[in-house]
Amino acid sequence: MASDLITKYTTDLGYELQLQRGLFINNEFVSGSSQIEVVNPTNEKVILKVEAAGKEEVDAAVSAADKAYKEVWSKTTPSDRRDLMLRLADLIERDQEEIAQIETVDGGKPITFARNVDVKFLSECLRYFAGWADKLQGKVIEVAGVLTMTRHEPIGVCAAIVPWNFPSLLLMTKLGPALATGNTIVAKTSEITPLSALKIAALAKEAGFPPGVINIITGYGETTGELLSRHKTVRKITFTGSTRAGRLVMKAAAESNMKKVTLELGGKSPNIIFEDADIDKAVKWAYRGIYFHQGQVCTSGSRIYVQESIYDDFIKRFKEYIGYAPIGNPLEGSTIHGPQVSKTQYDRVMGYIEAGKQEGATVALGGERWGNEGYYIQPTVFTGVKEDMKIMKEEIFGPVVCVSKFKDRDEAIQLANNTEYGLAAAVFSQNLDTCLSVSDEIQSGIVWVNCINMFDTASPLGGYKESGFGREGGEYVLAEYTQVKAVKINRGVPV
Q: Which domains does the chain have, with CATH numbers?
A: 10-265+468-484 (3.40.605.10), 270-458 (3.40.309.10)
* pTM to 2 decimal places: 0.96
- The predicted structure's pLDDT at residue 142: 83
User: CA dihedral in degrees (23, 29, 30, 32; nearest 10)?
Assistant: 20
> In a 3-state reduction of DSSP, which class is residue 230?
helix
Q: State residue 7's pLDDT score.
A: 96
What pLDDT is stored for residue 3 in this prediction? 62
Strands 260-264 and 468-469: antiparallel
CA distance 196 to 17: 11
The answer to whether residues 493 and 160 touch, using CB atoms and an 8 Å cutoff, is no
Report how far residue 21's alpha carbon sits from residue 309's, in angstroms, rounded to the nearest whole number.
Answer: 55
Low-confidence ranges of the chain (pLDDT < 50): 1
Catalytic residues: 264
Task: Give pLDDT, residue 2.
Answer: 61
CA distance 211 to 208: 9
Query: Dihedral, CA atoms, 340, 390, 246, 397, nearest 10 degrees?
Result: 20
**Beta-bridge partners for 39:** 46
- pLDDT value, residue 1: 41
pLDDT value of residue 48:
97
| C-beta separation of 269 from 293 below 8 A | no
* H or E segment to which residue 120 belongs: helix 120-130
Distance from C-alpha of 332 to C-alpha of 14, rounded to nearest angstrom: 12
